[in-house]
Amino acid sequence: MALVELWIDRNADTVIILKSPQPDDQFAPWNEDGTAAKFSAMVDAELPFGIQDEEDEEEQDIEEYAVATTLGEIPIDAVPDIPEGSREGHQKTDGYYYVTANGWNAEAFLLLMNMLHLQSEHIPLAPSFETMAKLAVIVDYYDCAKAIDAFTRIYMKRSVRKNKLRKYGRKLILEMFVSLVFKWSKCFEEVTAEAILGCSEETRR
């Protein structure tokens, strides 16, 4: 199993292990053949975000990311809840606290860590829309949109200027989700209206 080390803070006290990072080609799949998705298909669907049964986890030969950070620098409302008595989040003999995350896109997860730690030099000025959508999934899960508002607002202004004309499709639905997570109210209203007007029985997902 390959382990990639990413350091946010050289004086770190916490190591976050990202298991089963989501490949780019598995993010938000979309059928372009015009057929609507069947609700019954979810019965046998794989669990989202790479989550798997515990008995199968040891058999997976997957890459892991170790992000070294200082948990005390992260705003308190951005820190995920750690169950009392959990084996994670406790200091080990090497002096580090260990926390495990599963299934997130590695690039988006690292971007979030840099934003939370105000590492501006490692934050791209114009992240791609796909990166922002992957980031929104993680931010929505941890409910930490307010903690990175200063960065996401910059992207919002650029995005609104670019996307004056939209058509119904995967990007429009993702844009609706991104604007909802980051609370871009005007953008959310616009894309929701366009999704409603552009959606038909043939294109419904």
User: pLDDT tens digit string along 10-19?
Assistant: 778 888 888 8
pLDDT tens digit string along 32-76?
664 444 444 444 444 343 434 444 444 444 455 556 555 444 444
133 is in which domain, residue-wise? 3-198
Inside any domain, residue 108: yes
Summarize the confidence of residues 3-8 as an average pLDDT. Answer: 74
5 has a pLDDT exceeding 80? no
Residue 94 has pLDDT above 90, yes or no: no
Q: What is the pLDDT of residues 171-196, one digit of tens each?
A: 888 999 999 999 988 888 888 888 88
CA angle 117, 48, 64 (to 5 degrees): 50
Q: Are 156 and 184 in contact (CB under 8 A)?
A: yes
Tell me what pLDDT residue 147 has: 94
Query: Would you state the pLDDT for residue 39?
Result: 40
Whether the pLDDT of residue 151 is over 60: the answer is yes
Residue at 204 is within a domain? no
Rounded-to-integer distance, Cα 131 and Cα 79, Å: 21
The percent of residues above 70 in pLDDT, for the chain, comes to 61
Confirm whether 130 is domain-assigned.
yes
**Alpha-helical runs (H) found in 16-148:** 54-57, 106-116, 129-142
Say if 121 falls within a structural domain: yes
In this model, does residue 161 exceed pLDDT 80?
no
**Mean pLDDT (the chain, rounded):** 73
Residue 139 backbone phi and psi in degrees, to 5:
-60, -40
Q: Tell me how far CA of residue 50 lies from CA of 1, 22, 62, 129, 204, in angstroms.
A: 16, 6, 11, 22, 25
Residue 203: inside a domain? no
Strand, coil or helix: 67: strand
CA distances from 200 to 36, 42, 46, 117, 156 (A): 10, 21, 27, 43, 28
Domain count for the chain: 1
Query: Alpha helix locations (H) across 58-121?
Result: 106-116
- The mean pLDDT value for 92-99 works out to 81
99 within domain boundaries: yes
pLDDT above 80: residue 134 = yes
Residue 180 lies in a domain: yes
- pLDDT at position 160, please? 56
